[in-house]
Amino acid sequence: MYDPGGLKPLGEDISKGLDAGLEASSTKNGFRGRKLRNMTLRGCGTALVTPFRQDGSIDEPALRNLVRWQIDSGIDFLLPCGTTGETPTLTHDEWLRIIDITTETAAGRLPIMAGATSNNTQDAVAKTREASSRTGVDYVLSATPYYNKPTQEGIYRHFREVAEASHKPVMLYNIAGRTGTNIETPTLRRLAEVPNIVAVKEASGNIGQIAEVCGTLPEDFLVFSGDDAITLAVIGLGGVGIVSVASNAIPAEMTRMTQAALTGKWDLARMIFRKYLPLMQANFIESNPIPVKAVLSMMGRMEEVYRLPMCPMRPENRAKLEKVVTEVGLLQPHSVTVQ
């Protein structure tokens, strides 16, 4: 078992105590009979970008190097094939290849969460079943169906079918700004009764809603911020971490900030937050992942190549971003070993 604060092995007595606490929490919140939540997932996880070559193909060496650097920097978990990975532009084979490269490179050193989203429930079920069966995948991330704007009942039924098809625990992704539909708290509470749904990535942008989620769902249901800039606020409300865009470029710093908050070292957490807030904000000066891929290109970690409809930044925005990147000290020379 892993220590939620640092993903280190726990002693047997502590493990038993944690399990007993989870069982009590389950009963207290009226979810008797549910499977106990997996508490090993917490901290900072990177929603990985997908590096491309100039010809538009996947840059596999750059992806492997990115994964290695993330792990060496102490990141807590990795998410390939989320929105930040430009997944809507990937073929089915490319989607699986990116997941496999990530798991092969990670080699069991940290949890891997595979993105598997579709606004067609049958397709989402098939993708979830396939992703959760891949060697080395520990969790699946599934976002709210986009464009077709289901009702709350439709959202519930969609995610229930996804969870029932998954061989691994599922994290829901609530991001109404991209999907057009919000997972309301009563719906999330119903979904928390589904044994295989263990967490939510909350990017609703509504701090009141996030507070309600943290305050009314079972204590063993894991709440992650989906927005770097409110990571500390979400942890303060009872959240357990962040699924981060910024950590593509600053994995050590985002992990240190998150772990500091989770262990009550708020002065340290706020100091790191204040330094890197301008970068967190600049990452959304244009649509994600355009700015963060530009940052990684400036750092020499990959080529700045996108797949349409994503395209290079406007020159004036790139100049603003480069100024921020310089001010936070990221433009330091380094060597990249391609293997």
| Residues labelled as active-site residues | 173, 201
Gap between the Cα atoms of 150 and 172, Å rounded: 15
> Helix or strand or coil: residue 243?
strand
**Beta-carbon-side half-sphere exposure of residue 8 (alpha carbons within 13 Å):** 5
Helices 266-282, 315-327: axis angle to 10 degrees equals: 160
Strand partners for 241: 43, 224
Token pair of 322 as six digits: 């480069």
> Helix or strand or coil: residue 290?
helix
Contact 73, 299 (CB under 8 A): no
Collect all residues with Cβ–Cβ distance below 8 Å to 186 and sequence separation of at least 6.
152
Name residue 142's amino acid: S
Gap between the Cα atoms of 169 and 113, Å rounded: 9
Q: Is the peptide bond before 278 cis (omega within 30 degrees of 0)?
A: no
Gap between the Cα atoms of 19 and 38, Å rounded: 10
Name residue 242's amino acid: I
Gap between the Cα atoms of 207 and 230, Å rounded: 9
Gap between the Cα atoms of 265 and 275, Å rounded: 16
Contact 121, 148 (CB under 8 A): no
Burial pattern 116-135, b for ≥16 Cβ within 10 A else e, equals bbbbebeebbebbbbbbebe
Handedness of CA 233, 272, 174, 135 (dihedral sign): negative
Collect all residues with Cβ–Cβ distance below 8 Å to 68 and sequence separation of at least 6.
105
